[in-house]
Amino acid sequence: MKNILKSFIKSCAFSKALIISGLIFYNPVNSQLDRSVMPESGPPPEIFFGKPNTFKLDNGLTIMVVENSKLPRASASLSFDNPLIFEGEVAGVSSILGEMIGNGTQSISKEKFLEEVDFMGASMSVSGSGAFASSLSRYFPRVLELMADAVLNPLLTQEEFDSQKNLIKESLKTTDKDVATAASRVQDLITYGRSHPNGEFVSQETLDKSELNDAIDFYNNYASPKNAFLVILGDVNFGEIKERVTKLFSAWESKEVISKSFPEPTNPENTEIIFIDMPNGVQAVVSVINTIDFNKKESDYFSALVANRILGGGGAGRLFNNLREDKGWTYGSYSGVSESYKTKGYFTAQAQVRNEVADSAAIELLKEVDKMRNTLVSDDELSSAKAKYTGNFVMSLEDPSTIASFARNIITQDLPKDYYNGFLEKINSVTKEDVKSAAEKYFLTNKTRVFITGKGSEIIDALDGLKYNGKELKIRYYDKFGNKIEKPNYSVIDNINAEGIVSNYLNLIGGIDRLKEVQSIETLGNANLNMQGQTFALEFYTLKNYQNQSLATVTAGGMIVQKSVFNKYQGYNEVNGQRIPLTDSELDNAIINSALFSELNYDFSKIKLVGTSMVNDQKVYEIKISDNKTEYYSVQSGLKVKEIQTTEVEGNQIVLETTINKYEEVEGVLIPSEINQITPALPIPGGITIKFAKIKLDVKTSDSDFN
């Protein structure tokens, strides 16, 4: 490694010398140039690319073949160009079907099917919306045969249906508290409506109503070769592939897929705020969304693409520069134009921000959108956006699948045959006036919805009376499933205060006198971590004593992967053998967290009762312990049910959300016996649930335990 670094440094030094000498050599020539005049751009390159070999079977299946022998690999991709599908009361049945297909066929069991795919080192995925398979070219004929069998003869059994339905139901539970998931769900529902395919969503209720026959009906109604496209890429011979595909897919029965009409989504008469209450939300999702008629046939299609790139198409966009670089409210802010040739598309500008600045972020998004509508962009912004599109387009042509997708789009969207040949010319012909015109047409601020999804107790008051362009914005309130609700009330009665709530909690878990008698607490817990289809068993050990000494370890596979130690006044974190001393802010948190019962030491002159909130459908009191810590106590039981703690790591705010699921009585003291932890530092849907099988009080400790 050292030798590689040395070589790299030398090469950099050598390159620098070449650059410097080159500058010296060319200086006399450069001095003759008039740098006040921008050189004229050359004409955009005209793109020529080959067309895939295309043929159609008698049943309507369209096959596109792109031969590319650079690598000894080949792939097949099957997709359907079906009309919009509304699943209604059984929303999610297509997802269940998608998970069932590809797990065996009527002639091959699930185990043998997956074993054979694995043996060939192939990859295969089959769903209700299509299929994909890839392998070495020598195995491709068999892989294509297996894919055809999976699509034409799926194994649709009751056992597999129940299994896949339960897995999807569990996955819904893991995202139940996710703010971004709730935001996306309700945004689609309100934008398109409950009766529109783009507005419906999968729920526990719709899954419960779905049955095996619904999945079979869905397959029979929508898996038709008449609307299907099979794209084959790679090291193949067209003549051989045509013969093989004809043999494998000709028996696929062609069916007419019924197209239904749906209510057309509309924008509001006046801009309004849609607030979605997520009481557990640490951050808020703020989105400005309006529907648009937008597809590749629109005369200003390319102008809109450039306009969106300038507004929020990446890290150089105006939204990013405003809300992140200037305000520091978010990790990123972006915009998008979603096209559709089957229904209305939409425009969105979005950011995920702290709850306390959600109202301000909404106004800034609207301001930036209005700026695009009312003023011309700069020359630099325009040229940069065009250059980005040019680079992306040229790079995409290196992928053979791009050519096939272009050919498929030309057929399905009825585009001119030379549509993509002039792509760069059309992008480069966009003017500043074109950008402004497209923004005026597609980026609305006077008839749009401002969706704000987050913690109501920290956001709602700031939204009352919020104005834009001199007009007060109407507010409508919804829950996380898009049901309309009354304005949430988070107030508390006058005789309730933080000290009384915490004192009641201390009495419930054992009483102050009993808690002060405890000398130490030792716990051992276990959790299963699911990542990328693999399960890891984790062990969590903690030891604390009354002298503010603490030890915590996380073990995986018998190895300690993380260790945290605090010894009265100093401490460290150890990750993979590297010991890192605690910073000043981490030491402050460690002093609080190492206490056996930190609530005994609270200074109530510095603690604030924020109000009421909701945690797991139960009403709670929300108490702000410090700028970095908030606790939640059940109004009904009086027990602490959740705490949120924020720490700063390398300039980033890391949030740890701990929910207490269960308590266990140990020698007259209630101790949490099951907790759930969620943190963006470990992006696992639903977080980690830790169950403590061992809880001991008053174990003997010594200073050596905390070295």
What are the tokens at 58? Answer: 């008698």
Question: 3-state class of 265 per DSSP?
Answer: coil
The answer to whether the beta carbons of residues 319 and 368 sit under 8 Å apart is yes
Residues in the chain: 707
Q: In the Cβ-directed half-sphere of 568, how many Cα atoms lie within 13 Å? A: 6
C-alpha to C-alpha distances, 698 to 522, 542, 546, 663, nearest whole angstrom? 8, 13, 10, 18
For the chain, helix, strand, coil in percent to 5 are: 35, 30, 35
Cα distance between the two ends of the chain: 33
Q: 229: number of CA atoms within 13 Å, CB side?
A: 21
Q: What is the pLDDT of residue 492?
A: 87
Q: Which amino acid belongs to residue 491?
A: S
Instruction: State how far the Cα of 701 lies from the Cα of 707, in Å rounded to an integer.
Output: 12
Return the structure tokens found at 483: 């049901």
Closest CA to 332 of 313, 317, 351, 356: 351
Name the 3-class secondary structure at 104. Answer: strand
Q: CA quadruple 20, 25, 26, 27: dihedral positive or negative?
A: positive
DSSP calls for 599-633: GGG--TTS-EEEEEEEETTEEEEEEEEETTEEEEE
Letter for the amino acid at 229? F
Which two structure tokens, joined as six digits, stand for 392? 């992306």
Using CA atoms, how far apart are residues 184 and 200, in angstroms rounded to an integer?
Answer: 11
How far is 633 from 497, CA to CA, in rounded Å?
12
| Average pLDDT per consecutive 10 residues, the chain (707 residues; last block may be shorter) | 31 28 30 49 58 92 92 93 94 92 86 92 85 94 94 92 91 85 97 96 95 94 93 94 96 90 95 93 93 96 97 93 94 95 96 95 98 97 93 83 85 91 93 98 96 93 94 96 93 90 97 96 91 77 93 90 88 86 79 86 92 88 91 96 81 81 96 90 77 96 91
One DSSP character per residue, 365-397 reads: HHHHHHHHHHSPPPHHHHHHHHHHHHHHHHHHT
- Paired tokens of 584: 């000043």
* 660 CA to centre of own chain: 26
Tokens of 391: 């680079």
In this structure, the strands spanning 474-478 and 272-277 are parallel
In contact, 625 and 605? CB cutoff 8 Å:
no
Q: pTM (2 decimals)? A: 0.79
Is 544:521 a contact under the CB 8 Å cutoff? yes
- Cα-based distances in Å from 385 to 366, 370, 372, 430: 21, 19, 14, 10
Tokens 């496209």 map to which residue?
Answer: 229
How confident is the model at residue 125, as a pLDDT? 86
Q: What is the pLDDT of residue 45?
A: 57
- Tokens standing for 359? 């109202």
Q: What per-residue confidence (pLDDT) applies to 8?
A: 25
**Structure-token pair, residue 225:** 């070769």
Instruction: Give, in order, the Cα–Cα distances in Å from 148 to each of 7, 203, 233.
Output: 51, 32, 16
Q: How many CA atoms lie within 13 A of 336 on its CB side?
A: 9
pLDDT reported for residue 401: 76
Quote the pLDDT of residue 522. 97
Taking CA atoms, 27 is separated from 35, 36, 72, 89, in Å, by: 13, 17, 50, 74
* The predicted structure's pLDDT at residue 429: 95
The C-alpha torsion from 180 through 186 and 191 to 196, rounded to 10°, is 120
Q: Which of 234, 222, 344 is nearest to 294 (CA)?
A: 344
Phi, psi of 491 (to 5 degrees): -75, 160
d(CA 287, CA 365): 8
Distance CA 450, CA 338 (A): 17
C-alpha 132/C-alpha 125 separation (Å) is 5
| 11: three-class secondary structure by DSSP | helix
User: In this structure, are residues 480 and 274 in contact, taking their beta carbons and an 8 Å threshold?
Assistant: no
Q: Are 475 and 463 in contact (CB under 8 A)?
A: yes
What pLDDT is recorded for position 49?
60
The full set of domains in the chain, from first to last, is 53-175+201-249 (3.30.830.10), 272-401+411-485 (3.30.830.10), 498-706 (2.50.20.10)
Region of 651 (left: φ > 0; alpha: ψ -120 to 50; beta: rest) is: left
Q: CB of 307 within 8 A of CB of 439?
A: yes
Q: What is the pLDDT of residue 282?
A: 79
